[in-house]
Structure 1
Amino acid sequence: MKYFIFLFLISANLFSQSNFEKGEKLFAQKKYNEAKIHFDNYLSQFPLNLKTIEYLGDIAGHNKDWAEAIKCYEKIKQQNPQNANYHYKYGGALGMKAKESNKFAALGMIDDVEDAFLIATKLDKKHIESRWALVIFYIEIPAIIGGSETKAQVYANELMQLSKVDGYLAKGYIDVYFKRYKNAEINYKNAHIIGNSKTTFEKLYDLYLNKLKEKAKANKLKELFEK
């Protein structure tokens, strides 16, 4: 009898592992709804598995189900409050929810969004994503409720210390927002010289084509990048 119980426990464990591994594989293939089925099955057996809850939050985010994403991320950040990425993801989902809400509801979320990103930066001095989030946050929200280029530049400078490419991209983003296109060109060119990536190319190309209206520069950049 003990032998059969032992076999049952092994098969149940293998089934659980299979669900998680299949979920991860499908998630990597961007088959999010299929992955969710396996993660839900795994979570039914291991309801406190933080990685599974995080994956389910990520899937909800991909599906723009911000309420569900917030629920998942809030749960994991409460279970592990020292994890910077959990706070960052919570703040991001809450921010997206605020964008889709009416102005009154959004105002009630702003402080929580900011706090989540700030906590992430304090927990992890090298967390690039939360610093990017604060650059965008302080630029996009109105000054009357806390928006500030000065604050945005603080985190752009921190990005510069962590990653030159991200630093120049962040400063370029701020310049574009305020229509300082020539300054943006300098920053985006610096980012592209260092990174030479699809992202740096697209930022500089879009600046030339759609902001500076310099099609010749845009075409030359594209030609060089494709080589």
Structure 2
Amino acid sequence: MRHLIFILIFLVSIGSEAQRVSPDITYSMGAGNYKHASELLLQQPNLHSNPVLLDKLGESYAYLEEWDKAVEIYKKLTILIEDNPSYFFKYGGVLAKKAQNSNPFVGLTLLGRIKSSFNKTLVLDPRHPGAHWALIDLYVSLPGIVGGSYNKAYELAKELRKISPLDGYLALGYVYEYDNEPAKAKTSYFEALALVKEDKLFERNQLNYQIGKVCSDYGIQLDTGIKYMTRYIENHSIKDGVPMEWAYYRMALLYRKKGNKQNSLFWINKALKKRTDFKRAKEEKQKILALNG
């Protein structure tokens, strides 16, 4: 199953911006009460001329999964501030989430704006890893007839490797994997894993998932995979893209390959509780039940 990963990333406001947001709004967002935060933001008299407040409102709508409202806010921000790569990136992200949650026809009509938003992000910030990942994922997920292109995905992954070797090798492995090049995918993933130092802390939580995924898929460095997947789960939020049931599934896979039936069952049951129609998890559970002990 393909995920639109690394698309919805809401950057933490820098100190000067945080000071311009009232404490009650900051507290509500910090507590995860995005409904209350959005209500407070809508009461601000200077909302529509203040990009910091608009950004917080767009973020609140995104966490509430009110994609139409989030799209409207971030579209306004890209017009209000034409040189901010973060706003274009977030605009592309909420457009992508709207596409995912709409019928296929609506999704197709949004593709042009999604791509142009991420491309604009890279024009403004050529070193933006999230925009590279977002475009790579689009190019490998879409059929060629509507703009998919493995060649473009490879080009972006190689550009990303120059900016962040870890991201780049993970991205190359990702493209090779879906381009039916398993040997090359394995080589790239192993190159990425070789760059992971002991107790490496990642600024972006998505990298924790990717490292855990590589370990679970290839049955290597299983304790390392468990450590990083645990971090992903502990720090998960909607901005991370990959749903929790997939993280639970990966944890079950890691423990099964360690021969730990009890922990494998614990995690696979959490995955199935989260999503009862999870076919891969059902198949994995049969493998776990077949373990001795």
Instruction: Compute the TM-score of the two structures, normalised by the length of structure 2.
Output: 0.62
TM-score for both structures, normalised by structure 1? 0.78
In structure 2, the partner of 1:223 is: 223
Q: Which residue of 2 aligns with 1:7?
A: none
Quickly say closer, same or farther: Cα 1:224–1:53, change in 2 above 3 A: closer
Tell me, yes or no, if the aligned pair for 1:20 and 1:39 is still in contact at 8 Å. Answer: no
Higher relative contact order, chain-length normalized (CA < 8 Å, sep 6+): 2
Equivalent residues of 1:20, 1:38 under 8 A apart:
no
Contact 1:91–1:116 (8 Å) recurs in 2: yes
Q: Confirm or deny that 1:65 pairs with 2:61.
A: no
Distance between the aligned counterparts of 2:110 and 2:40, measured in 1? 32
- 1:38 CA drift (Å): 3.3
The answer to whether structure 1 residue 37 and structure 2 residue 39 are counterparts is: yes
What's the CA shift for 1:130? 1.0
| Alignment partner of 1:162 is 2:163 | yes
Q: Which stretches in structure 2 are left out of the alignment for 5+ residues?
A: 1-18, 201-207, 228-293
Question: What is aligned with 1:23?
Answer: 25
Alpha-carbon separation, structure 1, partners of 2:225 and 2:142: 34
> 1:107-126 to 2 correspondence within 5 Å?
107-126=108-127
Secondary structure of the 1:30 match is coil
Tell me which residue corresponds to 1:86: 87
| TM-fit CA distance, 1:67 | 0.5
Q: CA deviation at 1:205?
A: 2.2
Q: Is the 8 A contact 2:140 2:148 kept in 1?
A: yes
Which amino acid is 1:81 matched to? E
The corresponding residue for 1:204 is: 214
Fraction of identical pairs, as percent:
28
Matched residue type, 2:25: G
1:190 matched residue in structure 2: 191
Displacement of 1:203 after TM fit?
2.3
Aligned to 2:8: none
Which residue of 2 is the match for residue 13 of structure 1?
A: none
Whether contact under 8 Å (1:165, 1:194) holds in the other structure is yes
Equivalent position amino acid for 1:75 in 2 = K
Secondary structure of 1:195's partner? coil
Paired letter, 2:99: A
More displaced 10-residue stretch of structure 1: 100-109 or 87-96: 100-109
The DSSP-based 3-state class of the residue aligned with 2:48 is coil
Aligned-residue offset at 1:180:
2.8
| 2:147 counterpart letter in structure 1 | G
Aligned residues: 200
> Where does structure 1 lack aligned partners over 5 or more consecutive residues?
1-16, 209-216
Which moves more between the two structures, 120-129 or 99-108? 99-108
AA at the equivalent of 1:26: S
